[in-house]
Amino acid sequence: MGGWWSGLSLMKYNERFMPDVVAKVPKNANIIVACQKGLRSLAACELLYKAGYRNLFWLNGGLDSVEEVDLEREGPQPFKFAGIGGVSEFLGWTDAQRAAAAKKGLGYRAMLFGRLVAVVVLVDSMILGVQQLYQHMHEVQ
Who's near 28: CB < 8 A, 6+ residues apart? 54, 55
Task: Find the helix packing angle between 39-50 and 17-24, rounded to 10°.
Answer: 60
> Of the listed 33, 34, 35, 84, which one is catalytic?
35
Please count the CA atoms within 13 angstroms of the CA of 101 that sit on its side-chain side.
18
35 given a catalytic annotation: yes
The conformation of residue 85, written as its DSSP 8-state character, comes to -
Rounded to whole angstroms, the Cα distance separating 136 from 133 reads: 5
**Of 5, 2, 57, residue with least CA distance to 34:** 57
Task: Find the helix packing angle between 106-140 and 95-104, rounded to 10°.
Answer: 130
* Active site residue ranges: 35
